[in-house]
Amino acid sequence: MTVCIACGSTKVEPFLDLHETTLANKFLAPEEIGAVEPRHPLVVGFCPECSHVQLTHLVPPAAMFEDYLYISSLSKTLVGHLHGLAATVIERFKLGADDLFIDVGCNDGTLLSEAKRRGVRILGIDPAKNLAPLAKKNGVDTLVAFFGTETAAKVVAEHGKASVVTATNVFPHIPVLDDLVKGLDVVLKPGGVFVAEAHYLGDLLDACAFDTVYHEHCSYWSLHAAQYMFQRHGFEVVDIQRLPIHHGQLRLFAMRKGEGQPTAAVATLLAEEVKRGMTGIECYRAFAKRVEAIREELHAAFAGFKAAGKTVVGYGAPAKGNTLLSYIGFGPEQLAYIADKSPLKQGRVTPGTHIPVVGPERLLADQPDYVLLLAWNFADEILVEQAEYRARGGKFILPVPEVKIV
Ligand SMILES: [Zn+2]
């Protein structure tokens, strides 16, 4: 039985079945091929009580986050974004040397190092043991733990109460949020604010980004569901911002009810969600139909390539590419290899589908006829980088929001 992460109801209704898949970040080294890869159902459901959208089968977070390979400071865009967030929060809430600034899921300390530079007291919290030394190098002390009431009480005893708690890209990952929000009530001082960023469900629907769905992401947040959840715990969303990063994020500011004055932006986005039908399941059933259509179009296109003797490979090996490959049912027979810039992934194969990952120079060396772009969210950048391949007649296939060849 699925329990709604936002409201606790047991009425979560499945609307999109992406089949059983392996964990999307478990790229295999050559010696690991052949070992049993655990598979988990990847099904998305809608809660009619609070409009929350989430997975119906949750994988325990310990299996995914205690050894984490994604490091914030490797992306220039992300570093700029996180430093900007630190500045925004410190200026808006007029934080000074007496204020404690906590970042939950602090990763390598990128956000907090900027807060520290601006003279605020800081504390990082993250369950990934491998990241704490990296954060330390950036001048950020980390408590290696999941955040909840227990961790919050420990923090208050050792450091006092916090003025601000941030959590970027953490909220979608947590299968049980009640204890996290209760922890906020323990750790925040009166008038304190919680700032969360998560990919926004409205943007996911616009881009038909069904491949954003994988087991690390338990929740796909709308403002409706977030507001419902916070209100259940005596908090409320007092402001929101839409952000272009990661193909559409929502930044929300939550405070204890009555401690802040909600802005017009909150009411506006809530109204927009109702207008779009995001509070009813029909909207999501229509989304599932679009996803199905993409699968059929890709199959038809690849059947045509095969009949014409064309060669096809993939570009980009992000975690989400594995949702797409597994759902479409593509393996090495359809894509001889996938080119990716990350040396950590080259030489490995994709989880479940076992497509070899190679360096991007292979595109020019082999000049395949078509390239399926799995990292479609970086299309602009990649099409420019691969100008030579395209000038020689190579074509890219963009899978979403609908299949397009460029
Ligand atoms: Zn619910």
Neighbours of ion ligand 1 (CB under 5 A): 4, 6-7, 9, 47, 49-50, 52
- Whole-number Å distance, alpha carbon 9 to ligand 1 midpoint, is 5
Mean of pLDDT values over 201-209: 97
- Whole-number Å distance, alpha carbon 7 to ligand 1 midpoint, is 4
136 alpha-carbon distance from chain centroid: 25
More confident: 269 or 34: 269
- Whole-number Å distance, alpha carbon 54 to ligand 1 midpoint, is 9
> How much is the pLDDT for 321?
95
3-state secondary structure 204-228: HHHHCCHHHCCCCCCEEECHHHHHH
- Whole-number Å distance, alpha carbon 227 to ligand 1 midpoint, is 11
- Whole-number Å distance, alpha carbon 225 to ligand 1 midpoint, is 7
- Whole-number Å distance, alpha carbon 177 to ligand 1 midpoint, is 12
- Whole-number Å distance, alpha carbon 278 to ligand 1 midpoint, is 13
Residue in this structure with the two tokens 């296109």, named with its chain if needed: 301
Q: Are 43 and 14 in contact (CB under 8 A)?
A: yes
Strand segments, DSSP code E, in 306-359 are 312-315, 338-339, 357-358
The confidence band for 67, taking pLDDT boundaries of 50, 70 and 90, is low
Q: Are 214 and 238 in contact (CB under 8 A)?
A: no
- Whole-number Å distance, alpha carbon 221 to ligand 1 midpoint, is 11
Instruction: Provide the angle, in degrees to the nearest 10, between the axes of the packed helices 149-159 and 178-187.
Output: 20
- Whole-number Å distance, alpha carbon 167 to ligand 1 midpoint, is 21
Q: Given the DSSP bridges, would you call strands 13-21 and 40-46 parallel, antiparallel or unpaired?
A: antiparallel
Residue in this structure with the two tokens 């390598």, named with its chain if needed: 108
The enclosing H or E element of 186 equals helix 178-187
Least confident among 31-45, 284-298, 325-339 = 31-45
The confidence band for 62, taking pLDDT boundaries of 50, 70 and 90, is low
Strand segments, DSSP code E, in 232-385 are 235-243, 249-256, 312-315, 338-339, 357-358, 370-373
Q: Are 195 and 90 in contact (CB under 8 A)?
A: no
- Whole-number Å distance, alpha carbon 25 to ligand 1 midpoint, is 28
Rg over alpha carbons for the chain, rounded to the nearest Å, is: 22
Closest CA to 110 of 54, 27, 176, 169: 169
| Euclidean distance between CA atoms 400 and 322, whole angstroms | 15
Cis peptide before 401, with omega less than 30 degrees from 0? Answer: yes
Phi, psi of 154 (to 5 degrees): -65, -40
> How much is the pLDDT for 13?
97
- Whole-number Å distance, alpha carbon 145 to ligand 1 midpoint, is 27
> How much is the pLDDT for 77?
79
pLDDT tens digit sequence for 92-112: 999 999 999 999 999 999 999
- Whole-number Å distance, alpha carbon 328 to ligand 1 midpoint, is 30
- Whole-number Å distance, alpha carbon 4 to ligand 1 midpoint, is 5
Q: Are 71 and 110 in contact (CB under 8 A)?
A: no
CB atoms within 10 A of CB 344: 12
The confidence band for 78, taking pLDDT boundaries of 50, 70 and 90, is confident
Mean of pLDDT values over 104-122: 96
> How much is the pLDDT for 74?
67
Closest CA to 347 of 355, 339, 338, 356: 356
- Whole-number Å distance, alpha carbon 179 to ligand 1 midpoint, is 16
Asked if residue 72 has pLDDT above 70, the reply is: no
- Whole-number Å distance, alpha carbon 218 to ligand 1 midpoint, is 13
The confidence band for 70, taking pLDDT boundaries of 50, 70 and 90, is low
> How much is the pLDDT for 277?
98
- Which residues touch 391 (CB under 8 Å, ≥6 apart)? none
Least confident among 63-67, 268-272, 334-338, 375-379 = 63-67
Q: Given the DSSP bridges, would you call strands 162-168 and 100-104 parallel, antiparallel or unpaired?
A: parallel
Asked if residue 246 has pLDDT above 80, the reply is: no
Least confident among 153-157, 169-173, 332-336 = 169-173
- Whole-number Å distance, alpha carbon 16 to ligand 1 midpoint, is 17
Mean of pLDDT values over 178-189: 96
Percent of the chain beyond pLDDT 90?
Answer: 84
Least confident among 24-33, 71-80, 110-119 = 71-80
Asked if residue 73 has pLDDT above 90, the reply is: no
Asked if residue 175 has pLDDT above 90, the reply is: no
> How much is the pLDDT for 69?
59
Domains of the chain (ranges plus CATH)? 62-279 (3.40.50.150), 308-405 (3.40.50.720)
Instruction: Name the DSSP class of 73.
Output: G
- Whole-number Å distance, alpha carbon 13 to ligand 1 midpoint, is 10
More confident: 229 or 72: 229
Mean of pLDDT values over 327-346: 94
The separation between the first and the last C-alpha atoms of the chain, rounded to the nearest angstrom, is 44
- Whole-number Å distance, alpha carbon 15 to ligand 1 midpoint, is 15
More confident: 372 or 71: 372
- Whole-number Å distance, alpha carbon 324 to ligand 1 midpoint, is 27
Mean of pLDDT values over 261-270: 98
Asked if residue 204 has pLDDT above 90, the reply is: yes
- Whole-number Å distance, alpha carbon 347 to ligand 1 midpoint, is 42
The confidence band for 59, taking pLDDT boundaries of 50, 70 and 90, is confident
> How much is the pLDDT for 128?
86
CA atoms within 13 A on the CB side of 128: 21
Computed over every residue of the chain, the mean pLDDT equals: 94
Strand segments, DSSP code E, in 3-145 are 13-21, 40-46, 53-55, 100-104, 121-125, 142-143
- Whole-number Å distance, alpha carbon 229 to ligand 1 midpoint, is 8
